[in-house]
Amino acid sequence: MEDLQLRIRNPEEEYVRSRFREYYGKADVKAPDEVERREFGFGGWERKIEVRHLHVGNAEELKGKLAMEAPLFISYSVAYYEFPDMRPMERKNWLGADVVFDLDSDHLGLPCRKRHGTKWVCDECLAAVKDESAKLIEQFLIPDFGFSKNEIEVNFSGNRGYHVHIRDKTVKKLSSYARREVVDYLTGTGIDFDSMDFRNVAVSGRKEKKLLGPSPSNPAWPGRIARLVSRLVAEKRLAEVGVEEKDAKRIYKKSEQFLKSVREGNWDVVKLERKEEFWRNVVGRLGVKLGDRIDQNVTADASKLIRLPDSLHGESALLAKRVKDLNSFDPLKEAVVFGDQPVRIKIKNAPEFRLGELTFGPFKSEEKELPEYAALFLLCKKEAVLWKS
Amino acid sequence: MELSFCSKYPFTREAKELMSSAKVDDEFQLNELAKRRVVAAIKDGKIPFVSIELDDSQLLMQVASYAVSRVIISLLKSRYYTNRYAIAEAKRAGSYMQSDSDENVLHAAKELGVECEIDGSYGVKFQDYLRYAPKSVDYKLVNKKLAKGIVRLRRDGFVRLLEEAVKMKIESELPLNTDNATAAMKNAADAVKAGIPKEPMPINVPLERGEFPPCIVKLLEDLKTVENLNHTARWALAVYLLNAGMKVDDVVRIFSTSPDFDERVTRYQTEHAMKRGYKVPTCSSMDSYGLCVADCGVKSPLGYRRGRVGRSTA
């Protein structure tokens, strides 16, 4: 740890750390289960993980370390190891790992990203990633995988998304292959259209075959296809799954008839060109969005490090807060932990953003006095420096 | 029923208990039977299936021959032979399970740590499913009926799972401590060694290794470290090697290091792939087969070989 302390810091890092230190001095940060079997990683101003392979003996030690070091990022391994501080990885001796899904608004390909880039978030993308998390839990983890609500823990990542933890002992031993298969299930990767209860049947007196498919009451993926498509049709949201406007309009026009016939497993009410290919494409986009292949591999990775719940995020000064009720959770309000005494900063560049009840900005090269939580937010985004007059 | 159950599934606790109290008189016949069991397993990849009704003493002999086989296998001191033996034992148990009563199959499953509920189909926990299902496209979880954590299977799918569980159980229990092996058993082990093909040596691939894309390197390594590759993986590897210009004989030779190698089948399939002129699967197909291991920035594994390397698509 010495090298971390000795490095010369800029005044901004110094300030942020001093505020984080004060927070950790008072806060009650819970240690993860079997804390002594986890690998910890601490991050600083430059990198989210500057030191890793750290071993923490117990909850008290963790509290002490946080208050003393005031790391800007704290992550811990989803894995349990016999020797968490050994390296290389093989010598740690992997004993098992939690299953944690990482949902990031950046993975959703939202239009607002064009406006604010990946550095910033807005209510739109936070709402979308919340929806995606709810979809993961309510449409997959509970009905298909059979987890109960109290085995699923959600926490805000502290920045752009949510982490969904499965707290069930039976998943700890899942191999990396098994984890990959779970991810493929959730994202719908490798779905075989023919296994989804779709089939073409000949109709007498008609040259073209009739496309039959799943109905909403079918179990597992087939039923979900029928349910999700029905919902997208009813809410006129087919564009979200890549349906072109002219096709969407054709379906919306007959939407009542379409919904009724899908309930009976008939997918042939609306005339579509190359209908099988059409539905194949739609089906391919119905899964949970867990990012590209690399992000998904990270989700399936049984040795990754993940943000410690209840710790501060060094890119936002927001708390990676445990979420009690996802539906009503407002991250930009509930994850704010710092006070509102005024802090003077010079702001480089920031779009309009909301924290708590207040909206700030946009700012461009200006000197401002902002409540501490907002000043820290901008300092952590590295779009502001302290203003000493 | 109990004796016949034990003879079909000699890896169960019942069978072990039976052996601890039972006494086999004809030790010579027992060793001969065990020898044949091991040789058949290693040489042919399967243990002869006894379809006729056996009397009690013959059934007991079957169970006992399993116990002795395990000692013999342990004396051979080879992971390769052990794996091959375990696969053959698993197939033998599987063929009994295919036509056995639900009661017996469920009982054997429980012994293997696989719980199952029957409700028109065979329901197993997804955790067990992912542990024991073959790693191939046909068994992808996304295409299975999964509800409330239970995967619904037909009898044949369920039995396939149990075969894998048998194989893993047997492998994990071997080698045994052979300090107390009798002279007769040691002789049997020597005789077995003389009667089985030599353990294949790892084969150096006659192509520059650096030219292979990561997915193919991984497949080659998996083959060498004697892990069992599933059909899709073998197929992809064979098709790749053929398309990379390798001869059928060389491809077969590469596959000979796999513990469940069957030269006849491998040769047939490789020649078939050659004749049909299968194209190398694209990277996105490799990905959906679960065989993609890196983001090389090419569209086909063959593209990597041709040197278009290192451009990320992200």
Nearest Cα residue to B161 out of B90, B84, B82: B90
pLDDT of residue A126: 95
Question: How far apart, in whole angstroms, are the C-alpha atoms of residue A149 and residue A106?
Answer: 26
Residue-wise burial string across B178-217, b where 16 or more C-beta atoms lie within 10 A, e elsewhere: beebeeebeebbebbbeebeebbeeeebeeeeeebbebbb
Q: In this complex, is the C-beta atom of A169 within 8 Å of any C-beta atom belonging to chain B?
A: no
Mean pLDDT across A152-174: 93
**Closest in A190, A220, A292 to B137, CB measured:** A190
Question: How far apart, in whole angstroms, are the C-alpha atoms of residue B181 and residue B179?
Answer: 6
- The domain that holds A328 is classified in CATH as 3.90.920.10
**A358-360 and A79-81 as β-strands: parallel, antiparallel, unpaired?**
unpaired
Class of domain B2-195: mainly alpha
A178 contact residues in B (CB cutoff 8 A): 127, 130-131
In sequence order, the 6+-apart residues with CB closer than 8 A to the CB of A370 are A342, A343, A345, A360, A378
pLDDT band at residue B266 using 50, 70 and 90 as cut-offs: confident
Clarify whether residues A15 and A87 are in a common domain.
yes
C-beta neighbour count of A65 within 10 angstroms: 18
Measured between CA atoms, how close is B297 to chain A, in angstroms? 12
**Closest in A146, A184, A196 to B141, CB measured:** A184
pLDDT of residue A8: 57
| Lowest-confidence pick of A268-272, B120-124, B173-177 | A268-272
- pLDDT tens-place string over residues A3-35: 555 555 789 999 999 999 999 999 989 999 999
Q: In this complex, is the C-beta atom of A93 within 8 Å of any C-beta atom belonging to chain B?
A: no
Residue A42 lies in a domain: yes
pLDDT band at residue A117 using 50, 70 and 90 as cut-offs: confident
pLDDT band at residue B226 using 50, 70 and 90 as cut-offs: low
Nearest Cα residue to B158 out of B232, B106, B82: B106
Task: Inspect the interface and report whether the beta carbons of B131 and A178 lie closer than 8 Å.
Answer: yes
The number of angstroms, rounded, from the C-alpha of A304 to the middle of its chain's C-alpha atoms is: 15
Nearest Cα residue to A15 out of A389, A381, A380: A380
B6 annotated ligand-binding residue: no
Q: In this complex, is the C-beta atom of B21 within 8 Å of any C-beta atom belonging to chain A?
A: no
pLDDT of residue B307: 47
B292 annotated ligand-binding residue: yes
Mean pLDDT across A345-355: 94
Clarify whether residues A62 and A107 are in a common domain.
no
Clarify whether residues A212 and A164 are in a common domain.
no
Sole residue written with tokens 């199959």: B105
N-to-C CA span, chain A: 34
Strand (E) or helix (H) holding A78 = none
Task: Inspect the interface and report whether the beta carbons of A185 and B149 lie closer than 8 Å.
Answer: no
Task: Inspect the interface and report whether the beta carbons of B148 and A182 lie closer than 8 Å.
Answer: no
Clarify whether residues A5 and A80 are in a common domain.
yes
Question: How far apart, in whole angstroms, are the C-alpha atoms of residue A132 and residue A124?
Answer: 12
Q: In this complex, is the C-beta atom of B125 within 8 Å of any C-beta atom belonging to chain A?
A: yes
Question: How far apart, in whole angstroms, are the C-alpha atoms of residue A196 and residue A278?
Answer: 15
Q: In this complex, is the C-beta atom of B2 within 8 Å of any C-beta atom belonging to chain A?
A: no
**Closest in B135, B147, B292 to A220, CB measured:** B147
- Name the closest residue on chain B to residue A223, using Cα atoms: B145
pLDDT band at residue B160 using 50, 70 and 90 as cut-offs: very high
Sole residue written with tokens 């090269």: A365
Q: pTM score, two decimals?
A: 0.82
Sole residue written with tokens 């009397």: B55
Q: Is the pLDDT of residue A159 over 60?
A: yes
Question: How far apart, in whole angstroms, are the C-alpha atoms of residue A189 and residue A186?
Answer: 8
Question: How far apart, in whole angstroms, are the C-alpha atoms of residue B300 and residue A63?
Answer: 50
Any idea which residues of A carry the catalytic annotation? 102, 104, 295
Total count of residues recorded for chain B: 314
Nearest Cα residue to A59 out of A310, A318, A322: A310
Q: In this complex, is the C-beta atom of A293 within 8 Å of any C-beta atom belonging to chain B?
A: yes
- Let me know: does A168 contact A284? Beta carbons within 8 Å: no
Size of interface A-B (CB pairs under 8 A): 81
Clarify whether residues A88 and A139 are in a common domain.
no
pLDDT band at residue A301 using 50, 70 and 90 as cut-offs: confident
pLDDT band at residue B216 using 50, 70 and 90 as cut-offs: confident
Average model confidence (pLDDT) across chain A: 91
Question: How far apart, in whole angstroms, are the C-alpha atoms of residue A160 and residue A133?
Answer: 12
Spell out the domain ranges in chain B: 2-195, 209-305
Higher pLDDT, B109 or B24: B109
Q: Which of A96, A129, A155 corresponds to the end of one domain?
A: A96
pLDDT of residue B189: 92
pLDDT of residue A172: 92
B145 contact residues in A (CB cutoff 8 A): 219-220
pLDDT of residue B202: 57
C-beta neighbour count of B147 within 10 angstroms: 17
**A312-313 and A318-319 as β-strands: parallel, antiparallel, unpaired?**
antiparallel
Selected for mutation to probe chain A from B129, B142, B228 (highest A CB count within 10 Å) is B142
B312 contact residues in A (CB cutoff 8 A): none
Clarify whether residues A203 and A259 are in a common domain.
yes
Mean pLDDT across B84-95: 95
Mean pLDDT across B192-201: 82
- pLDDT tens-place string over residues A33-87: 999 999 999 999 988 988 899 999 999 999 999 999 999 999 999 999 999 999 8
Q: Is the pLDDT of residue A275 over 60?
A: yes
Omega before residue A351 within 30° of 0, cis: no
- DSSP letters, chain B, are -HHHHHHH-TTSHHHHHHHHH---S-HHHHHHHHHHHHHHHHHHSSPPP--SPPPHHHHHHHHHHHHHHHHHHHHH--HHHHHHHHHHHHHHHHHHHHHS-HHHHHHHHHHTT--EEEESEEEEEHHHHHHHS-SSGGG-GGGSEEETTEEEE-HHHHHHHHHHHHHHHHHHH-SPP-TT--HHHHHHHHHHHHHSPPPPPPPPPSS-GGGS-HHHHHHHHHHHTTPPPPHHHHHHHHHHHHHTT--HHHHHHHHTTSTT--HHHHHHHHHHHHHHTPPPPPHHHHHHTT---S--S-SSHHHHHTT-------
In Å, what is the CA distance from B118 to each residue of B94, B151, B232?
Answer: 18, 11, 30
pLDDT of residue B25: 81
Measured between CA atoms, how close is A148 to chain B, in angstroms? 9
Measured between CA atoms, how close is A116 to chain B, in angstroms? 20
Higher pLDDT, A149 or A206: A149
Clarify whether residues A51 and A79 are in a common domain.
yes
Sole residue written with tokens 């696989």: B114
| Burial of B262 from C-beta contacts in 10 A (0-12 / 13-18 / 19+) | middle
Task: Inspect the interface and report whether the beta carbons of B148 and A175 lie closer than 8 Å.
Answer: no
| Orientation of helix B27-44 relative to helix B183-195, angle to 10° | 30
Clarify whether residues A229 and A84 are in a common domain.
no
Residue A74 lies in a domain: yes
- What is the span of the domain harbouring residue A111? 98-188+290-301+323-337
pLDDT of residue B310: 41
- pLDDT tens-place string over residues B32-51: 999 999 999 999 888 987 76
- pLDDT tens-place string over residues B14-35: 999 988 888 888 888 999 999 9
pLDDT band at residue B227 using 50, 70 and 90 as cut-offs: low
Task: Inspect the interface and report whether the beta carbons of B141 and A181 lie closer than 8 Å.
Answer: yes
Residue A88 lies in a domain: yes
Measured between CA atoms, how close is A146 to chain B, in angstroms? 4
A173 contact residues in B (CB cutoff 8 A): 127
pLDDT of residue B208: 55
Number of compact structural domains in chain A: 4
Measured between CA atoms, how close is B9 to chain A, in angstroms? 27
- Tokens encoding B102: 């639900």
Q: Is the pLDDT of residue A116 over 80?
A: yes
Mean pLDDT across B269-277: 85
pLDDT of residue A80: 94
Q: In this complex, is the C-beta atom of A193 within 8 Å of any C-beta atom belonging to chain B?
A: no
Measured between CA atoms, how close is A119 to chain B, in angstroms? 18
Q: In this complex, is the C-beta atom of A294 within 8 Å of any C-beta atom belonging to chain B?
A: yes
B283 annotated ligand-binding residue: yes
pLDDT band at residue A208 using 50, 70 and 90 as cut-offs: confident
pLDDT of residue B309: 42
Nearest Cα residue to A13 out of A41, A53, A55, A50: A50
Clarify whether residues A132 and A86 are in a common domain.
no
- Name the closest residue on chain B to residue A291, using Cα atoms: B314
Question: How far apart, in whole angstroms, are the C-alpha atoms of residue A355 and residue A349?
Answer: 17
Mean pLDDT across B1-12: 88
Task: Inspect the interface and report whether the beta carbons of B146 and A174 lie closer than 8 Å.
Answer: no
Clarify whether residues A105 and A129 are in a common domain.
yes
pLDDT of residue A291: 79
Clarify whether residues A52 and A4 are in a common domain.
yes
- Let me know: does A371 contact A342? Beta carbons within 8 Å: yes
Mean pLDDT across A326-332: 96
Task: Inspect the interface and report whether the beta carbons of B290 and A177 lie closer than 8 Å.
Answer: yes
Strand (E) or helix (H) holding A130 = helix A123-135
Q: In this complex, is the C-beta atom of A189 within 8 Å of any C-beta atom belonging to chain B?
A: yes
N-to-C CA span, chain B: 61
Residue A272 lies in a domain: yes
Q: Is the pLDDT of residue B166 over 80?
A: yes
| Lowest-confidence pick of B70-74, B100-104, B279-283 | B279-283
Nearest Cα residue to A104 out of A384, A351, A331: A331
Q: Is the pLDDT of residue A333 over 80?
A: yes
pLDDT of residue A2: 46
Clarify whether residues A27 and A72 are in a common domain.
yes
